[in-house]
């Protein structure tokens, strides 16, 4: 089966029909949620702090929903108009803009606390127009992204390279732009579960390790027991996460203090239309019948 990036440019491949079908597919929703959760884990953001994040290739906002759940503020860009139209219809919380990331960004230096991207950067390796040079587009992208991130911070990219040469081209461009970091491969011994993440760092930081895929790879040879074992691994990971939340206390996403903090961050970022503070801020409203 051909990969999407080998069929047509993203703005063409993800037309109205494909954008809607992609967003409504429950399997894609589940996979996207898992990869976004892992990307957030690799971002290693400070606990209990609201971060201002860039979602590169945000599509219809599936990843953005995960950012909302974690209480972060985000801006999303995508090259496919149909994808952004679906995101608007779904009334996602993030600010959206249409943009070709191969042209680079024009944000002020140090604007973002981090960036994520799910299944996007491999598209930059295609020359979809006579003026496109993959090397130059990667250079513009990583150079301007590096300038847009504060120090220290991270950018995490989940991607699907088709060869080692593509991996080398992407990582080399990132290093030339000034990023540190490297590749994190989860479940390297499993064809189905294997996922590759490029963890890029501004400032000196330690590269995280990939999830151990040994259990999943071995069980995959046992046929019927493979899916059951995968579910057990997922449930155990979910249980540990819930235990961690109960120990630390759930992150507050309501109340006046949280609302005031979020509004102040909006103002610092230059967002227009932020309501003024008053004694009625975050008040509870009566339900009118």
**Residue ranges per structural domain of the chain:** 4-210
Q: Closest Cα to residue 79, out of 54, 56, 100, 106? A: 100
Q: Could you tell me which of 155, 208, 158, 211 has the C-alpha nearest to residue 179?
A: 155
CATH superfamily of 4-210: Vaccinia Virus protein VP39 (3.40.50.150)
Q: Which residues of 155-176 are buried (b: 16+ CB within 10 A; e: fewer)?
A: bbbbbebeeeebbebbbebbee
Q: Which residue has the higher pLDDT, 220 or 127?
A: 127
pLDDT at 222: 36
Determine the Cα–Cα distance for residues 116 and 154; give it in Å rounded to an integer: 9
Question: Does a cis peptide bond (omega within 30 degrees of 0) precede residue 152?
Answer: yes
Q: What is the pLDDT of residues 26-52, one digit of tens each?
A: 999 999 999 999 999 999 999 889 999
User: In a 3-state reduction of DSSP, which class is residue 206?
Assistant: coil
Residue, of 65 and 276, whose pLDDT is higher: 65
Angle among Cα 175, 197, 266 to the nearest 5 degrees reads: 85
Per-residue exposure over 47-62, b if at least 16 CB sit within 10 Å of its own CB, e if not: eeebbbbbbbbbbbbb
CA distance 174 to 155: 11
Give the model's pLDDT for residue 207: 78
pTM for this entry: 0.73
| Least reliable range by pLDDT among 66-70, 78-82, 132-136, 284-288 | 284-288
pLDDT tens-place string over residues 66-116: 999 999 999 999 999 999 999 999 999 999 999 999 999 999 999 999 999
The residue assigned the tokens 């999407």 is: 4
């Amino acid at each position: 089966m051909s990969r999407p990036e080998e069929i047509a440019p993203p703005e063409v491949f993800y037309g109205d029909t494909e954008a809607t079908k992609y967003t409504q597919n429950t399997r894609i929703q589940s996979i996207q949620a898992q990869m976004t959760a892992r990307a957030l884990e690799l971002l290693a953001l400070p606990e209990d702090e609201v971060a201002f994040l860039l979602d590169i290739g945000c599509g219809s906002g599936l990843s953005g929903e995960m950012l909302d759940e974690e209480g972060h503020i985000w801006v999303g860009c995508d090259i496919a108009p149909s994808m952004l139209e679906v995101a608007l219809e779904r009334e996602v919380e993030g600010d959206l803009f249409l943009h070709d990331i191969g042209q680079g960004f024009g944000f002020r230096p140090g604007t973002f606390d981090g960036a994520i991207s799910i299944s996007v950067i491999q598209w930059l390796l295609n020359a979809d127009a006579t003026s496109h040079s993959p090397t130059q587009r990667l250079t513009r992208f990583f150079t301007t992204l590096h300038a847009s991130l504060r120090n220290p911070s991270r950018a995490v990219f989940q991607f699907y390279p088709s060869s080692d040469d593509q991996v080398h081209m992407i990582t080399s461009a990132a290093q030339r732009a000034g990023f540190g970091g490297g590749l994190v491969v989860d479940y390297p011994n499993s064809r189905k579960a294997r996922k590759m993440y490029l963890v890029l760092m501004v400032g000196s930081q330690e590269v995280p390790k990939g999830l151990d895929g040994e259990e999943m790879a071995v069980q995959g040879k046992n046929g019927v027991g493979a899916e059951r074992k995968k579910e057990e691994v997922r449930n155990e990971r979910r249980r540990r996460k819930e235990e961690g939340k109960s120990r630390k206390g759930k992150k507050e996403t309501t109340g006046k203090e949280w609302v005031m903090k979020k509004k102040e961050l909006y103002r610092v970022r230059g967002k227009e239309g932020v309501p003024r503070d008053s004694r009625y801020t975050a008040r509870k409203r009566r339900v009118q019948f």
